[in-house]
């Protein structure tokens, strides 16, 4: 992502902002417990009113669990851009947030109880889960500014996301996932139509 303009802006002392979004598709009955971790991180973020430290801790937990579930990774994709203007970076974060939230069943309602009175105690278990992670940070991070659609690159990318939290580099963190809660299901057809950018690993 280094260009003549990048080098000029760096020379003039401007701050470099990177906005990056990562998609990871996992498959198998064993991935369902990850939904509980994702929902808990969401609840913690809402209770903390979006405090970046709390959201970052949730991201660390999610990334560690994703790394432990690497045998269930099926496909991945990533996208992003570099900005030298904080406002433009913020606009792009908002654009990615809106897009992620509009993906199939990716917006859980944390006000609802997990089970309603008339719902069965046994819920169908989804075999597909897509995690969408959007981050904004300052500086250059080659591990996230490359194609992450390979096992090795994805592992490095997730470890880098963890490190960025501890280095206090984040300006924004957003996590979406589909389906949004236990009992919802993401079928293979819905996966293809709602996440066309995914590349098999």
pLDDT tens sequence across 41-57: 989 999 999 899 999 99
pLDDT of 125-142, one tens digit each? 678 999 999 999 999 999
Nearest to 92 by CA among 101, 82, 102, 78: 82
Is a pLDDT exceeding 60 seen at residue 8?
no
Separation between Cα atoms, residue 134 and residue 195, nearest integer Å: 15
Can you list the pairs that 10-16 forms with residues at least 24 positions away whose Cβ atoms lie under 8 Å? 14/84, 15/84, 15/86, 15/138, 16/82, 16/83, 16/84, 16/138, 16/139, 16/140
Q: Are 73 and 199 in contact (CB under 8 A)?
A: no
> Which tops the pLDDT comparison, 136 or 181?
136
What pLDDT sits at residue 126?
A: 72
pTM: 0.87
Give the pLDDT band of residue 115 (cuts 50, 70, 90): very low
> What stretch of H or E contains 162?
helix 151-166
């Amino acid at each position: 992502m280094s260009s003549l303009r990048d080098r000029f802006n760096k020379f003039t002392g401007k701050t470099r902002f990177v906005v990056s979004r990562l998609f990871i598709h996992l498959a198998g009955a064993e991935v369902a417990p990850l939904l509980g971790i994702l929902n808990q991180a969401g609840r913690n973020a809402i209770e903390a009113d979006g405090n970046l430290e709390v959201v970052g801790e949730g991201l660390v937990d999610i990334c560690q669990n994703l790394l432990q579930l690497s045998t269930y990774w099926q496909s991945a994709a990533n996208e992003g851009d570099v900005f030298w203007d904080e406002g433009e970076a913020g606009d792009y974060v908002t654009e990615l947030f809106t897009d992620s939230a509009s993906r199939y069943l990716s917006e859980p309602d944390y006000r609802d109880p997990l089970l309603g009175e008339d719902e069965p105690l046994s819920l169908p278990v989804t075999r597909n889960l897509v995690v969408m992670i959007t981050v904004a940070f300052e500086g250059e991070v080659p591990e996230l500014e490359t194609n992450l659609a390979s096992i090795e690159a994805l592992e490095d990318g997730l470890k880098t996301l963890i490190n960025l939290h501890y280095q206090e580099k984040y300006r924004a963190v957003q996590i979406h996932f589909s389906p949004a809660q236990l009992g919802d299901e993401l079928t293979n057809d819905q996966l293809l139509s709602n996440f066309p950018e995914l590349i098999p690993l």
